[in-house]
Structure 1
Amino acid sequence: MRQEFPELPHEAVLIGLDAPDDAAVVTVPPGQVMVHTVDYFTALVDDPFVFAQICLKHCLSDLYAMGATPYTVLATVQIPYATPVKQAEMLYQILAGTHKGLLASGTPLVGGHTVVGPQLALGFACNGVAEPTQLLRKGGMQPGDRLILTQPLGTGTLFAADMQGKAKGRWIEAAIASMLTPNRAAAEIVRAHGATACTDVTGFGLAGHLLEMVRASGVTATINLDTLPVLAGAANTLAAGIISTLQPQNLQAAEFIDPVGIRHPLYPLLFDPQTAGGLLAAVPARQGQSCLAALQRQGYDQAAIVGEVTAAGGPWPLTLKQA
């Protein structure tokens, strides 16, 4: 018999999976606000145990980007058509991966829903708490702030190549390792260094998410293409013209970007959709190098200062440069 996953103890959970009811019941800490987010997508790796951890990291990232602490999680799972035995095994692996991913933050899974469909898909509704005065928003960037990207780019092109059988195994292994790296410590570090704004880099790509921050803050920004951190193999697959199916949609952001760097080999990386990506934070200039050093000491080896915030008034919301 399979062992049961022990419910993570959490005094705020009044009714959870230890004694299931029609819904979970959770107390809210006095003086704090609730932060809610949800995401859902189909499997991009064959291993459901690994996929669950990737999906959970991706979904929790919105909370960390907002400066919130994960509080509870609900899961929605679509199991592929198969024999009952195979379905039970896949669900077990999903729950095992979810349990492992939640251990890092001590966040309890308090419920969920399972359906059967043509392919494996998974999503999490993640709930967090935060001090209302400590929330990090996309707006708030100030001219002179340094833009720090905590993890490398390239999952979109790499997994597109993998689907075509054109990616090396070591490239995909490195990409998965990056996608499994939690954003919790990175969020704590950028907050400790006075971050003025933050977001997670996911489906819209670096350019799309940065443009959201620029608009919300009423500023412009410059990206140094030569300092972008890149996952192993991503430059190779981009050079071969292999891109994600979401890349053309993300390219719509190019109309707001100075085309001076359009011929740079890493230019397409600006529009590469990320799964379980890192954080993009703006920190005061005086804190930039110390924040970067702290991230790298914590294990975010490829964290980099990728640009800076500039005053509004130029012809382009986002400009590019090369070192």
Structure 2
Amino acid sequence: MSDQAIRLTELAHGGGCGCKLAPSVLQSLLADQPLAGPFANLLVGAETADDAAVWKVDDNLAVIATTDFFMPMVDDPRDFGRIAATNAISDIYAMGGKPVMALAILGIPVSKLAPETVRQILQGGASVCAEAGIPVAGGHSIDSPEPIYGLAVIGLGHPDRIRRNTGARPGDALILTKGIGVGIYSAAIKRGALPPGAYEEMIASTTLLNRVGAELAADPAVHGITDITGFGLLGHALEMARGSGLTLNIEGAAVPLLTQAAPLAREGFVTGASHRNWDSYAGGVELPGSLPDWQRALLTDPQTSGGLLIACAPETAEGLVERIRAAGYPLARRIGAAVPGAPRVVVTSELAARS
């Protein structure tokens, strides 16, 4: 068996967080599922579409648990493993916790991929776990029609420092820590049209651990955090708006973009998930009337291992942005504010059309 001529992305019908079910589909599937029940120690369950589950052990310790896996969005097996691991661990950081252990989730078409390719996927994931300071302590594997890889991750945090997507307060500033456009880049990869240097930029972003979330959770001025993944900036902002009972105003011109995201979006490199995301927002998003379709596609673009959306006291926002940039997130920006109003997202301007 040889897989030298096989591209990982050719074996998958979708890739990265673009594989996620659309928000509306997921909501309908979960609508008649029983609630977690009257467990007093379950601080966070599935009721608010938050990033991870949280169980309070005692007044000083909470366990944070999550899982995330997907099909390849890149052809390099080691990079696939690195991106998937970074994305899975992000949920722990988004809750304000620190990861302590991971379990690997692996599905492989064994008749199509050589063992060395699979080893490289696992090695890539393990390298990111080592960077995060945690072991891959086990896992589970199956023979599947498409390649799948990800992690189940356990983290720890202080119950008082758990940060939810429901925590935004009226007047809070909104900060985004990474640039948008990962789904656009992955669409270009599938068609062999990604410009020189853009792949390295995408890998640098998608393998950058969101560890700053754990540091920010210790700051009482930080009220809410969520990570931006498959539902796009608008989708995850809408979850925060609905969970917090507020309107989130996003200044389009302030949203950071990967360098080639705008020109690629103009040329039509858009994922199907971007359209599904938009169709799922069900009137919860208001856009400027003049907004071009390609800009809407960026705002709905599924992000794999995207940045954190942070709600914080407005007087601390500029200092927090500088602190986040100094921690290794150069594209971090203040992008809007949470204000009283119906739970929705309002984009107040067009995106900056920069290349």
TM-score after normalising by structure 2: 0.77
* 1:49 match: 78
Question: Aligned equivalents of 1:82 and 1:200: distance in 2?
Answer: 36
* Structure 2 residue aligned with 1:98: 125
1:256 to 284, 298, 303: 284
The answer for unaligned runs of 5 or more in structure 2 is 1-55, 351-355
Measured after TM superposition, the shift of residue 256 of structure 1 is 1.8
Aligned partner letter, 1:58? N
Alignment gaps of 5+ in structure 1: 1-27
Give the 3 Å change call, closer, same or farther, for CA 187–236 of structure 1 in structure 2: farther
1:277 alignment partner AA: G
Q: Distance in 2 between matches of 1:130 and 1:120?
A: 33
- Going from structure 1 to structure 2, the CA distance change for 1:196 and 1:32 (only over 3 Å counts) comes to same
1:282-301 alignment, distance < 5 Å:
282-301=311-330
Mapping of 1:22-61 within 5 angstroms? 31-61=60-90
Cα distance in 2 between the residues matched to 1:38 and 1:244: 23
Q: Where does residue 310 of structure 1 map in the other structure?
A: 339
Is 1:198 matched with 2:225?
yes
TM-score (norm 1): 0.84
Match in the other structure for 1:20: none
Paired position in structure 1 for 2:271: 244
Per-residue deviation, residues 75-104 of structure 1 (Å, max 9, x unmatched):
011233348xx6331232123212210122
Return the index of the structure with the highest Cα Rg.
Answer: 1
CA contact (8 A) 2:93 2:212 kept: no
Decide whether the 8 Å contact of 1:80 with 1:87 is kept in 2.
no
Which residue of 1 is the match for residue 108 of structure 2?
Answer: 79
Residues 261 and 321 in structure 1, CA contact (< 8 A), matched pair in contact too: no
- 1:62-77, aligned counterparts within 5 Å? 62-77=91-106
Cα distance in 1 between the residues matched to 2:104 and 2:338: 38
1:108 aligns with 2:154: no
CA RMSD of aligned residues (A): 2.1
Number of aligned residue pairs: give it.
Answer: 292
CA drift of 1:280 comes to 0.5
Query: Which has the higher mean CA deviation after the structures are superposed, 155-164 or 73-82?
Result: 73-82
- Matched with 2:146 is 119
CA shift, 1:266, in A, is: 2.9
Q: Distance in 2 between matches of 1:302 and 1:286?
A: 20
Q: Secondary structure at the match of 1:232?
A: coil
Inter-partner Cα distance in structure 2 for 1:161 and 1:254: 28
